[in-house]
Amino acid sequence: MNGKISKSLCVDNAKELLDSVDAFLFDCDGVIWKGEKLIDGVPETLDLLRSHGKKLVFVTNNSTKSRKQYAKKFLSLGILVNEDEIFSSSFAAAMYLKVNDFPREKKVYVIGEEGILEELEQAGFTALGGPADGKKNIELKSDCLFEHDKNVGAVIVGLDQHINFYKLQYGTLCIRENPGCLFIATNRDAVGHLTDLQEWPGAGCMVAAICGTTQKEPITVGKPSTFLMDFLLQKYNITTSRMCMVGDRLDTDILFGQNAGCRTLLVFSGLRILSISSFIFEKVQICSSTIQHCSVLPSVTLFGVTNESNYEDLSKEVKPEYYTNSIADMLRWYVMFPILCKQQKLPPHC
């Protein structure tokens, strides 16, 4: 997308996009839901896409749940999604070990939550840590010698709501002192939509802590790494040019799609504010009937980037093909197309 202008999704190009794509890849947090709240219009949009024979895949960097747990969350929100349609970073971490023939006799230490532990167990690996170690404390006496399992061959770091000094020290010692120990990050998102009202620290914070103590960089298996794309291509006989990645972050979702050769759609439903700096996009679709130009802001926090100049640099390299408010706009414009054609009231091209 370098050098190209991102286009606002509208009535004429929405149909073109749907007709030219066989599989839609959706991020979850900020696209399907925010916290435990479903975003308006999502079920109807997914039903529309399925009714037109589109494959739906859900690719999430949130490692707190396994694929099985995510399927249950979808169901609790009234959406039926098969477990094999879900590709989470917790699954990616387990699959990375599996495809790289990680020794079964070795153990895996987890700074993270149940999702990683469950995926590791399903893949046949022995895991330590996780939520259980969130209750452990260290008494820092002068003669304190912290012991760790010398048979740990990999440390996986993901979002951990119960991270503590014990986990940081355990993971650090495994990476620094166990020969050949792998350092794997599920993802490096700076923030996440853990509730529907605000953003919270993401897995990137936990990963950064271990980077600092070990002076090592991790193997990142979640977006924007295309590691998960290999599994998608094995399952679906679809070329990446016939796929569309839909997400609310440039630095993970859109970059993932761009790296894989997919078409891309950026949605603003994951943002707490709808004002985007005008140097990034020419205009933003505000509702089904109006187009409104953006105002320039002196500083804005978007997509995990807190510095405007940094985001401007990122936007020069990572540009979505399309952008819109939410995925519900796909439904709105697709349904409006035949009506406007019949009434001969098609608007000019965007």
The predicted pLDDT at position 240 comes to 95
pLDDT band at 159 (very low <50, low <70, confident <90, very high): very high
The predicted pLDDT at position 277 comes to 41
Write the pLDDT tens digit of every residue in 227-237: 989 888 888 88
Both tokens of 214, joined, read 């070990």
Nearest to 331 by CA among 145, 52, 71: 52
Indicate if 329 belongs to the active site.
no
List, as own/partner pairs, every contact residues 274-280 make where C-beta atoms lie below 8 angstroms and the sequence separation is at least 24, other chains included: 274/325, 275/300, 276/300, 276/302, 277/308, 277/311, 277/312, 279/312, 279/315, 280/311, 280/312, 280/315
Write the pLDDT tens digit of every residue in 33-89: 988 899 999 999 999 999 999 999 999 999 999 999 999 999 999 999 999 999 999
Q: Phi and psi (nearest 5°) for 13? A: -85, -15
Write the pLDDT tens digit of every residue in 162-196: 999 999 999 999 999 999 999 999 999 998 878 77
Better pLDDT: 313 or 113: 113
Domains of the chain from N-terminus onward: 7-61+224-287+303-343 (3.40.50.1000), 101-220 (3.40.50.1000)
Write the pLDDT tens digit of every residue in 221-266: 999 999 989 888 888 888 999 999 999 999 999 999 999 999 999 9
The predicted pLDDT at position 232 comes to 87
Q: Which of 12, 22, 40, 149 is catalytic?
A: 22
The predicted pLDDT at position 337 comes to 53
Q: What is the mean pLDDT of residues 11-17?
A: 83
Rounded to the nearest integer, the mean pLDDT of the chain is 84
